[in-house]
Amino acid sequence: MPAFSTYAAGTAVSKEPDRLFAQPLAQVPDFAFNEDVVRVFPDMIKRSVPGYPTIVENLGVLAAQFAQPNSVLYDLGSSLGAVTQALRRHVRTDGCRVIAVDNSAAMVERCREYLNGQDSMFQELLPVEVIEGDILALEFQPASVVALNFTLQFIAPDQRTALLSRIRQSLLPGGALILSEKLRFNDLEEHALLTDLHVAFKRANGYSELEIAQKRSAIENVMKPDSLEEHRERLLAAGFSKVVPWFQCLNFASLIALP
């Protein structure tokens, strides 16, 4: 019987601890959002991403400021739907609905279960649709809020501008893209310092040196972080008019991009 904990407003999520990289692996496979990761994901992301709970909860608060009546709120790369749940808790604008998209079948299946749980406990939540699909192939509907919470870093770098341009074109006046990412830094000293501090954060959250090293090898081919400057330039090139960082903790940050 799996253990469960609750998100802020009560929906049960798996509490299984992340020990995926605890034993020495002869060869570390590339990181994938498969069934093994899904089982431990709430624990993994909280212990790996400094500021994650603050970002998710405040994403709901921010979204409530940008949501426009009768529009779509997108949660792209929704994983288990933490952002979707925050949107549903905070946004009260008439006629809004949430579309959550992820291309991991295992994530989507579990996400739907959690959202059904949320529906059975609370009334008057925004309607939500969870789509299993590739956000690169998605036809965007007119949207007031688009959340990319630690998803763009997993998209091939040469596909990122085109995706952001399509998001920009779907955004309604008064809306916003909220983009959270792990950062790299052009200044080598700054990069080394914040990388070391991130390792210290993981250690303080109970990860061993082996777990930290094996996770690093697992993600290095599949997750390619950009610098803040690259994000800003790319967002402006994609047609956004203003880029406003609203949160940074160590080498993880979140930006608001306005149409």
Ligand X SMILES: O=C(O)C(=O)C[C@]1(C(=O)O)C=C[C@@H](O)C=C1
- Encoded tokens for 211: 């777990």
Q: What angle do CA 96, 100, 104 make, to 5 degrees?
A: 175
With binding defined as CB under 6 A, does residue 118 bind ligand SAM? Answer: no
Q: Minimum distance between the CB of residue 252 and ligand X, rounded to whole angstroms?
A: 7
Residue 216 marked as a ligand binder? yes
Distance between start and end Cα atoms, the chain: 47
Give the footprint of ligand X on residues 65-124 (CB under 6 A).
Answer: none
CA dist 242 → 86, 147, 160, 174 (Å): 24, 16, 18, 12
Which region holds residue 42: left if phi is over 0, alpha if psi is between -120 and 50, else beta? alpha
Binding mask 138-157 for ligand SAM (x = CB under 6 A): -----------xxx--xx--
Give the one residue of 13, 49, 55, 152 binding ligand X; rule: CB under 6 A.
49
From candidates 73, 98, 107, 176, binder to ligand SAM by CB under 6 A: 107
From ligand SAM, ligand X, none, interface partner of 219 (C-beta below 5 to 8 A by class): ligand X
User: Is 78 annotated in some ligand binding site?
Assistant: yes
247 binds ligand SAM (CB under 6 A): no
Q: How far is CA 187 from CA 1, 179, 184, 235, in A?
A: 48, 22, 9, 21
Task: Decide which of ligand X, ligand SAM, none touches 48; Cβ closer than 5 to 8 Å per partner kind.
Answer: ligand X
- Binding site annotation covers 251? no
Chain Cα centroid distance, residue 35: 18
Residue 102 contact, options ligand X, ligand SAM, none, Cβ 5-8 Å cut-off depending on partner type: ligand SAM
* Annotated binding residue 79: yes
Instruction: State the binding partner of 146 from ligand SAM, ligand X, none, CB within 5 to 8 A by kind.
Output: none
The Cα–Cα gap between 78 and 149 comes to 8
Residue whose beta carbon is closest to ligand X: 48
Asked if 136 touches ligand SAM (CB under 6 A), the answer is: yes
CB of 44 vs ligand X, minimal distance in Å: 5
Question: What are the angstrom distances between the C-alpha of 218 and each of 54, 146, 171, 183, 195?
Answer: 26, 28, 34, 18, 16
Residue 207 lies near ligand X (rule: CB under 6 A): no
Q: How far apart are the C-alpha atoms of 173 and 181, rounded to whole Å?
A: 24
d(CA 79, CA 101): 8
Tell whether residue 150 is a contact of ligand X (CB under 6 A). yes
Q: How far is the CB of 141 from ligand X (least distance, A)?
A: 26
Phi, then psi, of 212 in degrees rounded to 5: -65, -45
48 binds ligand X (CB under 6 A): yes
List the single partner that 78 binds among ligand X, ligand SAM, none, CB under 5 to 8 Å by kind. Answer: ligand SAM
Q: Which amino acid is at 251?
A: N
Contact between 14 and ligand X (CB under 6 A)? no
Binding-site residue numbers for S-adenosyl-L-methionine are: 52, 77-79, 102-103, 134-135, 149, 216
